[in-house]
Structure 1
């Protein structure tokens, strides 16, 4: 599809390639406006030929000095008509026609309008050096024309000056039209580029939002599914459990499954929405206040979790920072359940306004081989947490430390005000 900012035949633009350099097999087709303009130019030129010829035929005897030989009048009219016909090809070969008809500028009066139109076409559609060369050539022929076809009411130099004024006016008009067309093309291209960039920004914003929601749901679903796996594993390895224990585990499995399905349904609805461009994810929106509930949820499935809260003015923790801490602890507890089942987990929070907030999740390295029924992991949880911390301007560390424990630690900025 041809861009609206660039005509179908770009070599017709000011300063563009010549028709000889146009793509093979393509010819310049006139638009409706071009047909109207070319028709008016042709009719105007023919009308001028008829007017000049009739005026020469009936000229008074006192103006005989300004007239050529009588046989030259029909010859000049014929040349004028031929030049008028050539106007139909002026868009395709403006320079070639201007050079071919340049000798007529020495003497022809009937072809003068057609010659001016061809010269104007060169100025509008070709680079200015070409236009200036033809202008210089026209000024030279103007000196000869004023001698061969003198005006009985003007002196020689007055006739020359008049010809220079006409050439300068046509040149200025053509340069103005050329500049205006280039400006219109530039504005159209700029508008299309701005529209394309805006669409790209919208697409990128939508994609970033969806990626952020996907990271949120990875954290949520990994947490809930790990709870489901722990309870299902307990039922599998405790066939002698009492009916009360079985019922309690089944209730936790059912509630966790329902919660996971609800979160999954909500995020799929958001991802399907084309206008989901809000600044924050739609669901869920945990805060630091919900961290104790997260810890209790893990304790309810048998995980030994210790929470050491050393925060100063915890109520002033920014919402974004609190959400980041919640996700970091959630990922740490999920990893502990997956990779180190049965170990004790310690969660430590420290910091205050202006000092930043430090969060650490620590658990002993599992002893022995991989436990049977171990929950599989994708390995993307820590990657997502790293991206979250990096976007918040913080730091993240994870891995086995000198004591042999696995340590997940992060520092997030906490402004003083």
Structure 2
């Protein structure tokens, strides 16, 4: 989609362009993070979009000083067409500090628009004096409906969830057993896939394997090519060659999430080592409940190098302490497979909107150790220390005077 006029997009008289006062070393390109739009009152962008497609919405934030405005004073809401709340009382400063990130990308998937327009409204919080809203970049990307099939509800024998009717937020997207995949190497949807290592629970991390550059992934149809890129399916994490060791542990990943939401967990699998049914059979657990018993990738895919994915949903309730979502694999013994092992190639976790259209969770709480370190550092320096950025989504944009914007 071509670049529309700026006047036709933004409806606000209380917005101003601003330049970032400092470029964190982790920011390798000035677009879109070194400029921002600042909003001191409710302001709305209105984008013309295809009324029949879902759209990725990626919001880019770099919390720093803009025109003498300190980002620690910025708290705001972001709502989208159809009454969907994306962010509520959001502080990019607190979130970046708690996650040890320099900049953030929030990625959402929204349902088709009824009127051919997608609106994003930024509203400064009324609970903080002098609060303002800001955004550095916006991406609107038309996407195929790759989330149309129903997902199994974990803990229920026959109930499914029609996830395609929900708006949702990408919480995690990892390339299991493989390396970081940038948006330019995705399968056409500009997604970012991260290394799964930080999320593995315990010391039993299994082993990683790769199919090699000459291996060819055999997609069952054209739409399947968009589900995930080749690099996800060519690499995997398994439990290892020792069946006795494998029977005594679970291959487990743990993710911190927001309480009181339903989550969809998408597992990507592709066999590149075994080629027969009942050679590798395993059970899949989500939050300590059986999501799938006797998973056999070859049984599902019918052949080696054919990728498949499975979707599961689970509700994560409010409990004391950190709220975690667990995904675990364990060899299935009942089927007496040739190898007592498990395999996973990729993993995505999405938060589904609740009954009132809300996707917003609370700002994360920085650890006490983090707060003490930040306080000690800031005694001698104006800017925060360089932080490793861990983000969801792409980082390209058309450079406007105050906003990086992509419409596709």
Measured against the shorter chain, the TM-score band is: under 0.3
Compare the two structures and name the one with the higher strand fraction: 2
Compare the two structures and name the one with the higher helix fraction: 1
Q: Who wins on radius of gyration, i.e. which is larger?
A: 1
TM (normalized to structure 1)? Answer: 0.19
> Which structure is richer in relative contact order (CA contacts within 8 A, separation 6 or more)?
2
